[in-house]
Structures are given as C-alpha cells and as structure tokens.
Amino acid sequence: MLSIIIPVFNQHEMTRECIKAVLQHTKDFEIIVIDNGSEPRLEWADLGLRVGDVIYCNDTNLGFPAAVNQGIRIAKGETIVLLNNDVIVTPDWMNRLRFYIEPKTRLEKTESDDGFNLHEITYPPAYSIVGPLTNYCTGLQHTLIPVYRNAMELDSRAMDWQVSHASETQEVNYVIGFCMAFRKSLFDEIGDFDENLWPCSGEEVDFCLRARHAGHKIGIAKDVYVHHEGSQTFKAMPVDYGEICERNNRYLIDKWGMEAMNQEVEQVPEGLCLNLGCGLKKIDGYVNIDNRAEVQPDLVCDVLQGLPYSDNSVDEVRAHDFLEHIPQPYMIDVVEEIYRVLKPDGIFDSFTPSTDGRGAFQDPTHVSFWNKNSWAYYSDPAARTLYGIKAHFTYATLEDVITSVGDNIIHTHVIGKAVK
C-alpha cells in the first residue's frame, strides 16, 4: 500500500486541486493531510477525501518536518510519498516512482544435473529515495517542457515526456522535497526528519544525506514530470523566506560540510574523455581542451588542425556549446575528426543551439548552424552516401531542449555511439 502525506497550512483551494489530481492518477493508496493550524481548519469532505483518508489537525504551525514525521508515524503504507499541496501530479506518476524504489522479483531458470529449475530471485531497488522533475525547483530536478495551459494539456505533455525519457534516471546526493518517495523502512532505519529546520527548507536534504551516509542511493526519475506552483505556503506565512533559507543552509553546511550541498553526484568517467571548447567550465575526469591558452585548459589545441590522438583511442568526446563556433565549411571535417579518434561504440555528446530557436542566430560568434535534422547526415545511409561522409553514429538521445522560454532559446542534445 502507498501512503501520500500532504502537510498543509491554509491554501484550501490549492490543496483541493492537489488532491483532485492525486485521486485521478493514483491507485491503491491512502491520503494523510496534516493540517498545521489552518484558519479555518480544513474539512474532510471539502477536500474530496474518501473513507479511510485522514486529516490530522495541529493547533499551531509546527512546521513541515514535524508534520511529515506525524504523517509517517500513522501511515499504513509500506511506501511513503511526501507531497506539497501546490503540486499537481500527472498520469502514471506513482507507478514510475515506485518502480525505482521497490524490489523486483523475477523467476529465473537455472540448469542442474536434474534438468532446469525455476527460482524466484529478488533484486534490490535502484534507489532508496526518488523524486520527479518539475517546472519550479532549484537544481537538477528543474526542467522545461512544451507549454501547457490547463490540466488536460499538462497530462498530455507529461505523458509525451514519459515516453521520450522512459527509464531515465540520475543518481544525486539529494532530491527536493516538493515530491519524494521512499520506503517506510528507510524512515525506521535512519530516523525522523530534522525538526530543527523549522518551518521548512532543507529537511529533505538532511534526510537524503543521512540515507546516503547509511549506504543508500538517491535518484531523480527523469521520466516523471509534475507541475509545482512553488513556495505558496511560505508566501502565505508572516516570515522572511530568504532569512529562513539562509539560516537553514548554514545549519546544513555546519552539519554536513559545503561539498555535500552539491546535488549532483560527481561521476568520474572511465577511459580517455575529451571536453572540447571547455572555456572556463572544466570537468573532472576529462581532458579539457580549448584553443585559448588564457582559459588555462589541460590542452591547448585548435580542433580545425586535428586532435593529437590516434585512431580509435578515445572513449568519449563532449562538445557542449562548441560546434556552433566551427565555420560552416569545416563542420563535416570536425565531426569526422571526432569520429576518427573515438573507439567503436565511443560516445559523442553534443549540445548545440538549434535553428528552431533564436539562440543559434543571436550570438555573433556563431558561425555554423545546427538542428535535429542536421544529425541525419551522420547516421542516415542515404545522406552519408550523398556527401561521402565517413562519420557514422547511432543516437541514444536526439532531442530539443528549451533552455530559455522567454528568449526562445532551444538546444539540440545528441548522444551518439560511433559505428565502426
């Protein structure tokens, strides 16, 4: 069973909309609303709750961490979801989140002297805590999807996103608590959310860091998108939001250290990996390459003159915001030079402003132009043959990403494998 815990302080209409979406898109669950001293108090029937759901009322605002702890203690479910009341969930949200945090049981066939036998094997979950992507959030869980203007369009965009990002995840140090799922056994193992972080901000970070310290993995489910209004309870409270965030951040730094506050888990790549056009953004584990000595790269190199590596010697080439600075007549030559040094199945990771947005044209230093269709000339047999292109890639990722809605800037992200 699943227990969805929604701490609430006022915001009655918003809570109703949140619960309405949960009821529409979720199965086999209970809702536990922790009312932190709302005026007037929330009423069970007004929220559209069902028989078996719970409203637990506090006389005063005890804060988000205390409300979460109260909700988990009375929860009946083996899986816990903490949900802000300003979040609108989308189709299949919970099935995807549960997929990553619940163990899997499979029947597997083994051979013995007596013949073949079937055994039930249980595999551990990928993560102990997982959270989705959203429109309003700091850090790695923030993303942008095509515009939606109502619940029906939101559901449609979220389902399209799920299909195009199926089973994609990212390991992180922590997830943000607007929506997070974990097993109740984890709470029993590592203890309560830290109520020193009143009224909220950082309690989920502390909980995740304690879980990591105990050997658990935390992940972002990149195939789940939910809508988040953001900071609505804070805005309704007579408190200084900035001051609380600063105070709680200092508390977490004192407890865990500055490095732990980075959400991203540093992944050191294996093998020989190149970061072309690194500029000032150098990446650990890569040979950072630039043609300007003043940015102090690991290697000063003009790729137009060739890369100083032998054929089939490089595991990965990263080229983010790089190819658009290669003059148009040399585009094919540079991609073929990247292809030359890559090993069979070597990774080519490109991130380039697309001509489908303004970003390709508004920067005066851009001298070549790219979009999703450009990459057919390095994958499609007919297009490669037409121009005699040697470079040959298959694409694990070929998608447009809106990087600035207001400025209409779109980037094309490509992750290809060298076919040799």
Asked whether residue 380 falls in the same domain as residue 241, the answer is no
Among 292, 284, 250, 288, CA closest to 267: 284
Asked whether residue 360 falls in the same domain as residue 380, the answer is yes
Q: How far apart are CA 194 and CA 69, in angstroms?
A: 9
Domain CATH code at residue 35:
3.90.550.10
Q: How far apart are CA 242 and CA 236, in angstroms?
A: 14
Q: Which residues contact 412 (CB under 8 A, 6 or more apart)?
A: 350, 351, 352, 353, 354, 370, 371, 372, 374, 375, 398, 399, 400, 401
Q: How far apart are CA 13 and CA 233, in angstroms?
A: 12
What average pLDDT does this structure show over 320-334? 95
Q: How far apart are CA 120 and CA 110, in angstroms?
A: 11
CB environment 174-212: b (16+ within 10 A), e (fewer): bbbbbbbbbbbebbeebeebbeebbbbbbbbbbbbbbbb
Asked whether residue 294 falls in the same domain as residue 245, the answer is no
How many domains, in total, are found in the chain? Answer: 2
Asked whether residue 202 falls in the same domain as residue 64, the answer is yes
CA 187 to chain centre: 23
Residues 367, 327 contacting (CB under 8 angstroms): yes
> Is the confidence at residue 109, as pLDDT, over 80?
no
Q: How far apart are CA 354 and CA 281, in angstroms?
A: 21
What average pLDDT does this structure show over 21-32? 96
Q: What pLDDT, on the 0 to 100 scale, is given for residue 264?
A: 85
Query: What's the mean per-residue pLDDT of the chain?
Result: 90
Backbone angles phi, psi at 68, to 5 degrees: -60, -45
Report yes or no on 313 lying in a domain: yes
Name the residue range of residue 329's domain.
273-418
Asked whether residue 245 falls in the same domain as residue 319, the answer is no
In degrees to the nearest 10, what's the CA dihedral of 93, 98, 104, 105? -90
Asked whether residue 227 falls in the same domain as residue 375, the answer is no
What average pLDDT does this structure show over 68-78? 97
In degrees to the nearest 10, what's the CA dihedral of 363, 364, 367, 371? 20
Cis peptide before 308 (omega within 30 of 0): no
Among 83, 86, 88, CA closest to 72: 83
Asked whether residue 235 falls in the same domain as residue 293, the answer is no
Q: How far apart are CA 213 and CA 251, in angstroms?
A: 18
Report yes or no on 268 lying in a domain: no
Last residue of a domain, one of 236, 261, 286: 261
Asked whether residue 282 falls in the same domain as residue 257, the answer is no
29-40 tens-digit pLDDT: 999 999 998 888
> Is the confidence at residue 258, as pLDDT, over 80?
no
Asked whether residue 230 falls in the same domain as residue 311, the answer is no
CB environment 383-409: b (16+ within 10 A), e (fewer): ebeeeebebbbebeebeeebbeeeeeb
CA 259 to chain centre: 20
Confidence of residue 268 (pLDDT cuts 50, 70, 90): low
The more confidently predicted of residues 36 and 182 is 182
User: Which residue carries 């609303």 as its tokens?
Assistant: 33
Q: What pLDDT, on the 0 to 100 scale, is given for residue 211?
A: 97
**Percent of the chain clearing pLDDT 90 (strictly above):** 66
> Is the confidence at residue 400, as pLDDT, over 70?
yes
The dihedral of CA 177, 174, 25, 229: what is its sign?
positive
Report yes or no on 266 lying in a domain: no
Confidence of residue 103 (pLDDT cuts 50, 70, 90): confident
Q: Which residues contact 385 (CB under 8 A, 6 or more apart)?
A: none
- Amino acid identity of 134? T
Q: What pLDDT, on the 0 to 100 scale, is given for residue 404?
A: 67
Report yes or no on 336 lying in a domain: yes
Report yes or no on 330 lying in a domain: yes
> Is the confidence at residue 97, as pLDDT, over 90?
yes
Q: What pLDDT, on the 0 to 100 scale, is given for residue 293?
A: 95
Asked whether residue 162 falls in the same domain as residue 311, the answer is no
Please give the full DSSP string across 51-119, using - where no structure is assigned: TT-EEEEESS---HHHHHHHHHHH---SEEEEE-TTEE--TTHHHHHHHHHS-EEEEEEEEETTEEEEE
Asked whether residue 245 falls in the same domain as residue 331, the answer is no
The more confidently predicted of residues 296 and 104 is 296
Among 247, 244, 249, CA closest to 262: 249
Q: What pLDDT, on the 0 to 100 scale, is given for residue 111?
A: 66
What average pLDDT does this structure show over 184-192? 97
Q: Which residues contact 48 (CB under 8 A, 6 or more apart)?
A: 16, 19, 20, 23
Domain CATH code at residue 388:
3.40.50.150
Report yes or no on 55 lying in a domain: yes
Q: What pLDDT, on the 0 to 100 scale, is given for residue 215?
A: 94
**Percent of the chain clearing pLDDT 70 (strictly above):** 93
> Is the confidence at residue 101, as pLDDT, over 90?
yes
Q: How far apart are CA 313 and CA 307, in angstroms?
A: 11
Identify the three-state secondary structure at position 172: strand
Q: What pLDDT, on the 0 to 100 scale, is given for residue 232?
A: 60
The dihedral of CA 286, 321, 317, 401: what is its sign?
positive
Q: What pLDDT, on the 0 to 100 scale, is given for residue 343?
A: 97
Report yes or no on 267 lying in a domain: no
Report yes or no on 337 lying in a domain: yes
Q: What pLDDT, on the 0 to 100 scale, is given for residue 406?
A: 64
How many degrees, rounded to 5, is the angle at CA 278 between CA 273 and CA 280? Answer: 135
Last residue of a domain, one of 261, 291, 313: 261
Q: What pLDDT, on the 0 to 100 scale, is given for residue 10?
A: 85
Q: What pLDDT, on the 0 to 100 scale, is given for residue 247?
A: 86
195-237 tens-digit pLDDT: 988 777 889 999 999 999 999 999 999 999 999 987 666 555 6
> Is the confidence at residue 113, as pLDDT, over 90?
no
Q: What pLDDT, on the 0 to 100 scale, is given for residue 355?
A: 95
Asked whether residue 203 falls in the same domain as residue 246, the answer is yes
Among 224, 214, 125, 219, CA closest to 176: 219
Last residue of a domain, one of 228, 261, 294: 261
